[in-house]
Amino acid sequence: MAETQHRYAVTVTWTGNTGSGTGGYRGYERAHTLSAPGKPPIAGSSDPAFRGDPACWNPEELLVASLAACHKLWYLGLCAQAGLVVTAYEDTAEGRMTEEAGGAGQFTAVTLRPRVTITAESDPDAALALHRRAHAMCFIARSVTFSVTHEPTIVREGAD
């Protein structure tokens, strides 16, 4: 099968000019809008630790969310192909970032903690094993240089 190229276009529009632009570090807001054709806009800002609005999504949260969502999408597809029936899925993912003295930084790890509910007839061992395959297939996880680990929980319907 030949490679296929996909393109993703988004627009980030800074909305935080309070009148004097970036004339001073404390004189502007970190607010921005993320948009793409045909989709509702997302209000964004920096992390509150960097003078951002805690009510808005920040880039660090979006990166962790992207990893969790990509894993979930692959996992559900693999379960469907394997005949495992998932009835609920929730991931409480967490990312860790190290900030250096000079202000630069990088993510050092992301941990995904999916809690997956399967039907009583589905095989929990197979459901657990598919997390490794989903990780191997996830476009986002394959693109980052830091560790992405998984701590899945599999629950069978009707089990206490």
Tens of pLDDT, residues 103-123: 899 999 999 999 999 999 999
User: Is residue 2 one of the residues assigned to a domain?
Assistant: no
pLDDT digits (tens, 9 = 90+) for 84-103: 999 999 999 999 999 999 98
| Residues 71 and 131 placed together within one structural domain of the fold | yes
Range list of β-strands (E), the chain: 11-14, 32-35, 42-44, 86-91, 94-99, 105-112, 114-118, 147-150, 153-156
Question: Residue 160 has what pLDDT?
Answer: 57
Contact 68, 148 (CB under 8 A): no
Give the SS3 label for residue 133.
helix
User: Is residue 3 one of the residues assigned to a domain?
Assistant: no
83: domain range?
Answer: 59-156
Identify residue 148 by its one-letter amino acid code. V
Q: For the CA atoms of 71, 56, 147, 93, what is the dihedral angle to 10 degrees?
A: -50
Number of domains in the chain: 2
| Residues 29 and 65 placed together within one structural domain of the fold | no
pTM summary value: 0.91
The model's confidence at residue 158, banded by pLDDT at 50, 70 and 90, is confident
| Residues 83 and 25 placed together within one structural domain of the fold | no
The model's confidence at residue 159, banded by pLDDT at 50, 70 and 90, is confident
